[in-house]
Amino acid sequence: MINLEIPKKHAGLVDQAHQLAMNMLRPISRTYDRAEHAYPKELDMLAALIDGVSETGATGGAGAGGVRRDTAPIDGDRVRNGAHLASVLSVAEMCWGDTALLLSMPRQGLGNSAIASVANEEQLERYRGTWAAMAITEPGTGSDSANITTTAVRDGDDYVINGEKIYVTSGDRADSVVVWATLDRELGRAAIKPFLVRKDNPGLRVERLEHKLGIRASDTAAITLTDCRVPAEDLLGSPEIDPSSGFAGAMATFDNTRPLVAAMAVGCARASLDLTRDLLEQAGVVIDYDRPGQAQSAAAATYLRLEADWEGARLLMMQAAWMADNRRPNSLEASMAKAKAGRVGSDVTLSCVQLCGTLGYSEAELLEKWARDSKILDIFEGTQQIQQLIVARRVLGLTSAELK
């Protein structure tokens, strides 16, 4: 039976992540928001610490880099609270400190989640220690990741990749990029495969860094691939085209990463709620959990509504991660968690700005920054509208061709 409380075995990890967020990320948050595209050198030590914790296996997983879906048999009715749950809980705490700095952390990229999701065992060992960005979005595809036009053509022992990718998180700083390309456009989704392209591969070029509304400490790049040669062994997973599996590789990746993005939204929204409660109390607004909202001030009632909505997002996030740990299909739950948390994150952070008035809107506090940062969490890894479409298809039992 699922229990959506923080497991005792993960309590130490959650506390450590919170302390790191409070003492290392929060103090430098404003500095690197203002210094857009400057690399936060303080993260090198923190990334090394997270690598060490993950290597020991003591926590069952840490950070945003993604964890491999366990395929070992489960004994009887034994329930696992494993690496996926540990990962979303730690990510939420770190984003309580700063979302952009978490996204900037070496070896914690979404490309690492793709490797963890679809690479074979030999590749996992060979790519150990790499920092991988994720490159799916193209100028003409928007949220329709299955409409990828970047091509990969086999030429001897290599693939030759041509195309353009935009909004690549850590696209400049990472030492490699997981590039999604099609082996045959006529075969549709089934022919789309991920390739690990190293930054020193001839033909890969970082064209520009984007100036953004939020997550400004995180570099977001546009890259081009022009006759970029990639060894065939760097195609992640199987090179076989199986029409029955559809877009399985990307979907397996998204089932891992969408709960992580939900965790980012949950953490950022929690930070806003915590600070807003303190500021309201300083202004004489008491939030009483023993009285109904309609019997309190408008500000207190609004706060209680926001917190209840946040709790729903947190529980959906934990459910999606718990299902992955227990080898249960979680595509529906991953999209539900991403959709709920993305919407709630934007609603909570903007509402907190409004509740706190001039303090919320000014740079005297971090509320305005969190409102800017949270918006991307409702967009990347599939927009709110795309998640709702996926959920509708799953619930109604319809295909993408039947429900567009």
402 is a domain residue: no
Task: Report yes or no: 198 and 158 within 8 Å, Cβ to Cβ.
Answer: no
Q: How far apart are CA 49 and CA 64, in angstroms?
A: 14
Q: Is residue 403 part of a domain?
A: no
How do residues 82-127 score in pLDDT, each as one tens digit? 888 999 999 999 999 999 999 999 988 788 888 888 888 999 999 9
Sign of torsion, CA 141 147 153 159? Answer: positive
CATH number at residue 378: 1.20.140.10
Where a domain ends, among 103, 123, 143? Answer: 123
The number of CA neighbours under 13 Å toward the Cβ of 328 is 16
Express each pLDDT in 204-242 by its tens digit.
Answer: 999 999 999 999 999 999 999 999 999 999 999 888 887
Statement to judge: residues 282 and 389 lie in one domain: yes
> Is 290 among the domain residues?
yes
Among residues 390, 378, 388, 380, the alpha carbon closest in space to that of 331 is found at 390
pTM over 0.85: yes
* Structural domain boundaries, residue 155: 130-241
The pLDDT value recorded for residue 185 is: 87
Please compute Rg for the chain using Cα positions. Answer: 21
3-state secondary structure of 135: strand
Model pLDDT for residues 11-48, shown as the tens digit of each residue: 999 999 999 999 999 999 999 999 999 999 999 988 88
Q: Looking at the structure, do residues 158 and 94 belong to the same domain, yes or no?
A: no
Residue 205 and residue 134 share a domain: yes
- Specify whether 278 is located in the same domain as 340: yes
Same domain, 374 and 308: yes
Note the pLDDT tens digit of each residue in 140-199. Answer: 887 677 789 999 999 999 999 999 999 999 999 999 999 999 999 888 888 899 999 999
Q: Residue length, the chain?
A: 404
Segment among 50-54, 295-299, 321-325 with least mean pLDDT: 50-54
DSSP per position, 337-393: HHHHHHHHHHHHHHHHHHHTHHHHHSTTSSHHHHHHHHHGGGTTTS-HHHHHHHHHH
Query: Domain boundary at 216, 241, 266, which?
Result: 241
Catalytic residue among 93, 333, 365, 381: 381
Residue 2 lies in a domain: no
End-to-end CA distance of the chain: 35
Q: Which residue has the tokens 């456009």?
A: 185
CATH code for position 83 = 1.10.540.10
Among 39-48, 144-153, 258-267, 322-331, the range scoring the smallest mean pLDDT is 144-153
Query: Which stretches of 283-330 are DSSP H helices?
Result: 298-325
Q: Looking at residues 368-377, what average pLDDT do you find? A: 98
Concerning whether 381 is annotated as a catalytic residue, the answer is: yes
Task: Report the candidate in 107, 232, 117 with the shortest Cα–Cα distance to residue 176.
Answer: 107
Residues 176 and 89 in one domain: no
- Give domain status of residue 1, yes or no: no
Asked if residue 206 belongs to a domain, the reply is yes
Domain boundary among 96, 123, 150: 123
Matching residue, tokens 């590749």:
123
Report d(CA 233, CA 11) in Å as an integer.
Answer: 40
Q: Are 261 and 380 in contact (CB under 8 A)?
A: yes
Q: How many domains does the chain have?
A: 3
